[in-house]
Each structure stands twice: as C-alpha cells, then as structure tokens.
C-alpha cells in the first residue's frame, strides 16, 4: 500500500501529533478491526476511539494486525460521563487499557463536560494522575467550552493538550478556536465532513474541488488543516480512507478559505448538541 506522510504539530506538553487522524465511531468487531487496520495501512497514525464506542477492543486488534510499530501510533480513548468521579475514573482508564490490550494510551480525553452533573474537575484530576502513573501520555478533553477550560486551569493549574469539538463548514467554531489559540490548546475536529450531510453537495465547495481536481471531502479536510485544526474523518472504506488523507499536495488560497468560512451559521451543529446543556453518559 502507498504510504502517506502526514505533517505533525507539537502540543503544549511537547508531544507531536499528526495533523489528520482517523475516527472510529461505529467501527466495531471484526469488520471494525479490519477497517481500522486498513486505515493504519494507508497512513493514518492518530486513531480516535472511546469507551462509549465499545470498540477499544477493535482498536487493539487493529494494532496487532498492523505491521506498524505500536510506538509509531497515537491512540486515543475517552472517559464516559457516568465515570467522572475520581474513584470511578481511575479504574475506567485502566479498563480502557485492558480492553485494547495496550500498556498506555497516547491521549485520553474527557468525552463531554456534563456541566449539570458537574464532576468534570474530579475527572480531570484522575486524568492528571493517570498521566503521572504512565497510563496515558497526553490528556485532553472534548466539547469543553471556554468557561469549562478556565475552570480546569483555575482549579488544577493544568490545561488540556487538545480539545476535540464539533467542527465542519456549517459550524466552524471561530470564537472557540480563538480561545484555544490564545491558550495553546490544540483543536481537534469531530464530524469534520459533517457526518456526510448536505455539506458534501455544497456548490461553492464543489467549484473549489473542481478547480483543484479534488473531491469535496478533500477540500473540507484541507480547510481544517489550514485552520490549524486536526480533523478525524471516519470511513469504513479503504478507498475513502485514502481519499481523505490525500490532502497534502495542494493548498487553498485565502479566497477559497473565506468562501468555506462563510458557510458557518449559529445553528449549524449537526444534532444541536450544545455542551452548555447537552450531557452524555
């Protein structure tokens, strides 16, 4: 298989990560393990997963099936909302490792802040300790608003390396990205191609795609990288996995970037999951 070289960026804790990764939601069992192995074969090194995707086992199996060394991969999982208290969070992280049969995760994230439940600072303390004990190399969060991040900073003195947030052309998170940049937190984009919604039929992006002889998905993923965000597209298909990663041989000019930036709208979230009120367990 052809191998793709992906540029890397450095996180606030000194670790380096690829500028594009692979999403694995819904990739489970034997088919899932082989789809994830295929993604590693085509060149992905950053693999996203979560306790709640029930596929940490498939990720671990893919690592074993692949001929790429474990140390060359950057494997992520996430802590579910129901295990935010310190005493639950620590064994949950350990169980995540057992399921994947890994000695460490490269990145472990709090999956949602669940601000009404209000235990996310305790969860964060568990992640800080898990890093000290060597269970995880880097710690971060998902779906944290600036107010949640400010609170972590104030109460623990430690900011996440990464905040993984919903980000696609219809919801480009300009203000949140500005906060991240100012505070040296990397932005990772979930549902980067809008979960294949109508954005893939957008005529403005199609024109840009025609001009570059690329697909709409490739234009959108390139747009993420040029925003400084790390997209993690999911695909079960080896062809689309390769398509999505083949974005480092062209670039978008300012006008093209602005055309895509202009598609964002305040109600552009896919499923209206506003982390100020939406909670997931």
Ligand X SMILES: NC(=O)c1ccc[n+]([C@@H]2O[C@H](COP(=O)([O-])OP(=O)(O)OC[C@H]3O[C@@H](n4cnc5c(N)ncnc54)[C@H](OP(=O)(O)O)[C@@H]3O)[C@@H](O)[C@H]2O)c1
Complex with ligand X: residue 92 or 244, whichever CB lies closer? 244
Among 96, 138, 172, 191, the residue binding ligand X under the rule CB under 6 A is 191
Among 66, 138, 164, 172, the residue binding ligand X under the rule CB under 6 A is 164
Q: Which stretch binds ligand X (CB under 6 A): 64-72, 89-97, 238-246, 247-255?
A: 238-246
Can you give the three-state secondary structure of 19-32, one letter per residue? CCCEECCCCCHHHH
Q: Residue 262 interacts with ligand X (CB under 6 A)?
A: no
Complex with ligand X: residue 159 or 170, whichever CB lies closer? 170
Residue 161 tokens, joined: 């390396």
Q: What are phi and psi of 49, to 5 degrees?
A: -155, -175
Active-site residue identified among 53, 83, 108, 120: 53
Beta bridge partners of 168: 171
Q: Taking the complex as a whole, how short is the minimal distance between the CB of residue 237 and ligand X, in angstroms?
A: 5
Phi-psi region of 133 (alpha: psi -120 to 50; beta: other; left: phi over 0): alpha
Catalytic annotation on 53? Answer: yes
Q: Which stretch binds ligand X (CB under 6 A): 5-13, 62-70, 115-123, 235-243?
A: 235-243
Q: Residue 24 interacts with ligand X (CB under 6 A)?
A: yes
Q: Residue 194 interacts with ligand X (CB under 6 A)?
A: yes
Q: What angle do CA 176, 10, 107 make, to 5 degrees?
A: 75
In which element (H, E) is residue 117 found?
Answer: none
State the DSSP code for 131. H
Residue 172 tokens, joined: 């480009």
State the DSSP code for 59. H
Among 41, 56, 243, 256, the residue binding ligand X under the rule CB under 6 A is 243
Can you tell me the distance from the alpha carbon of 213 to that of 166, in angstroms, rounded to the nearest whole number? 27
Pick out residues in 78-137 that bind ligand X (CB under 6 A). 111
Complex with ligand X: residue 90 or 142, whichever CB lies closer? 142
Q: Taking the complex as a whole, how short is the minimal distance between the CB of residue 209 and ligand X, in angstroms?
A: 11
Among 38, 55, 187, 235, the residue binding ligand X under the rule CB under 6 A is 235
Are the CB atoms for 120 and 113 separated by under 8 Å?
Answer: yes
User: Which of 120, 206, 213 shows the shortest CA–CA distance to 169?
Assistant: 206
Among 94, 155, 156, 196, the residue binding ligand X under the rule CB under 6 A is 196
Q: How far is CA 259 from CA 31, 139, 263, in A?
A: 38, 34, 7
- Give contact residues for ligand X (rule: CB under 6 A): 23-25, 48, 111, 142-143, 164, 190-196, 200, 215, 217, 232-237, 240, 243-244
């Amino acid at each position: 298989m052809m191998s793709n070289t992906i540029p890397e960026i450095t996180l606030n804790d000194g670790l380096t990560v690829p500028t594009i990764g692979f999403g694995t939601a819904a990739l489970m069992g034997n088919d899932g393990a082989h789809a994830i192995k295929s993604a590693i074969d085509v060149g992905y090194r950053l693999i996203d997963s979560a306790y709640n995707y029930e596929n940490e086992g498939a990720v671990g199996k893919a690592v074993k099936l692949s001929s790429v060394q474990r140390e060359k991969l950057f494997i992520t999982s996430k802590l579910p909302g129901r295990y935010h208290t310190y005493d639950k969070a620590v064994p949950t992280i350990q169980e995540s490792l057992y399921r994947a049969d890994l000695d460490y995760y490269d990145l472990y994230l709090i999956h949602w802040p669940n601000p009404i439940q209000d235990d996310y600072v305790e969860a964060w303390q568990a992640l800080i300790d898990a890093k000290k004990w060597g269970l995880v190399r880097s710690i971060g969060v998902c779906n944290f608003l600036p107010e949640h991040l400010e609170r972590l900073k104030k109460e623990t003195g430690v900011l996440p390396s990464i905040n993984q947030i919903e980000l696609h052309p219809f919801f480009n998170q300009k203000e949140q990205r500005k906060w991240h940049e100012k505070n040296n937190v990397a932005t990772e984009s979930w549902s980067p191609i809008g979960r294949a919604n109508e954005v893939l039929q957008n005529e403005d992006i199609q024109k840009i795609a025609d001009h570059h002889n690329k697909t709409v998905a490739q234009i959108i993923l390139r747009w993420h990288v040029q925003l400084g965000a790390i997209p993690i597209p999911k695909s079960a298909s080896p062809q689309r996995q390769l398509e999505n990663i083949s974005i480092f041989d062209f670039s978008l000019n300012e006008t093209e970037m602005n055309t895509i930036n202009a598609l964002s709208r305040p109600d552009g979230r896919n499923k209206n999951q506003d982390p100020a009120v939406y909670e997931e367990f």
